[in-house]
Amino acid sequence: MIVLTVLWMWSFAFAADSLERRLLDVGKGAMDCGRTHQGEKDHRAVVQCVEKQFRDGQPFRVRFDDACIDTICSWGIIRGEAGGAIEMIGFDPKACDPANDTDVWCGTKSVPCEQPKLIVKGDKLKLSCGQDYIF
């Protein structure tokens, strides 16, 4: 148990950005379904992992990157515990300027997902949370 705690603390401290830190913190014991973007060769496998974990009510975390106008924006989807709620976490790295770089979650915004519906068609995933998100 101590080894797992130390490994989690190390991965949290050296996470690539604040979205990674937030996904690791909220989903400590969750299945890591990966990180991908549309067109990447592992996109289908990531979508299948999310679909299985979602369907089985199991904890998971995933990150989908997308190109924004002048930066890379990302969405994290997380279920922190079995049967728990789904949470969407939006990320814009431009919000992590020097004025707020002490905030370990800078640039992230949580979007609760009540009564989520997941639809998978091919390698595309659609998550409905009052608004539709397509990955």
Q: How many domains does the chain have?
A: 1
User: Could you tell me where the DSSP H helices lie in the chain?
Assistant: 2-13, 18-26, 43-56
Cβ atoms of residues 78 and 87 within 8 Å: yes
At 106-127, the pLDDT tens digits run 889 998 898 999 999 988 999 9
Residue 15 φ/ψ region, left for φ over 0, alpha for ψ in the -120 to 50 degree band, beta for the rest: beta
Task: Identify the band that residue 15 occupies on the pLDDT scale cut at 50, 70 and 90.
Answer: low
Give the predicted TM-score (pTM) of the model.
0.81
Whole domain around residue 99: which residue ranges?
A: 2-134
pLDDT digits (tens, 9 = 90+) for 48-98: 999 999 999 999 999 999 877 777 689 999 998 888 899 999 998 887 776
- CB-based contacts of 107, cutoff 8 Å, min separation 6: 17, 18, 19, 91, 92, 93, 94, 95, 96
